[in-house]
């Protein structure tokens, strides 16, 4: 069962609604829809919310350490609540998928994603669940860093938000950690 959902992103107004903040954007939508509220918790270097999904209490975390240091916040909260990596879901942007595509994955490497790299280092494990939210690839000549830190056009953002609809439609199954069933529903 998933007890913690981590959304990856960068804090600060200049990063709001950028592609790299897909994890933050999803959690903000989830908290709003479930009537939760964000509280700053210095112990975990992040913003925390507590919500109920399918009758189960779930913690939500938006690390405020910047993307490349996301593992610091995740490691602290995992140790404090004595969470196994298998009880953690990380929602992050994925360059390898077009906008609107979302995939669930258990374990694996970081594929060059510095937020995932840091989480793996701080948890000492790759065995957490990931929701990979497609943000598309930059056109030739556009540096990846510039692309992920830019705001998508309205139609691209609409497709990204469409992936959030897909996630919300199966969120109870995700919390139950029914990866096979979720994969069949999301990937089909």
Catalytic residues: 20
Closest by alpha carbon to 152, among 169, 138, 168?
138
| Nearest Cα residue to 85 out of 28, 6, 168 | 6
Q: Can you list the positions of beta strands (E) in 75-167?
A: 88-94, 102-106, 129-134
CA 128/CA 5 separation, integer angstroms: 10
User: Coil, strand, or helix at residue 36?
Assistant: coil
The CA distance from 114 to 104, in Å, is 19
Tokens of 66: 């910047």
Give 20's contacts (C-beta < 8 A, 6+ positions apart).
8, 9, 10, 67, 93, 135, 148, 149
Q: How is residue 124 written in tokens?
A: 């000492």
């Amino acid at each position: 069962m998933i007890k913690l959902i981590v959304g990856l992103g960068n804090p600060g107004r200049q990063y709001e609604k950028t592609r790299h903040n897909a994890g933050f954007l999803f959690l903000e939508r989830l908290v709003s829809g479930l009537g939760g509220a964000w509280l700053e918790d210095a112990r975990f270097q992040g913003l925390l919310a507590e919500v109920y999904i399918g009758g189960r209490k779930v913690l939500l975390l938006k690390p405020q350490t910047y993307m490349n240091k996301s593992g610091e916040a995740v490691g602290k909260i995992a140790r404090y609540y004595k969470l196994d990596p298998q009880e953690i879901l990380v929602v992050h942007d994925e360059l390898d998928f077009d906008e609107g595509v979302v995939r669930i994955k258990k374990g694996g490497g970081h594929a060059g994603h510095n937020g995932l790299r840091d989480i793996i280092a701080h948890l000492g494990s790759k065995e957490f669940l990931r929701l990979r939210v497609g943000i598309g690839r930059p056109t030739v000549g556009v540096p990846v860093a510039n692309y992920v830190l830019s705001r998508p056009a309205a139609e691209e953002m609409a497709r990204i938000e469409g992936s959030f609809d897909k996630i919300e439609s199966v969120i109870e199954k995700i919390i139950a950690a029914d990866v096979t069933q979720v994969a069949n529903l999301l990937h089909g």
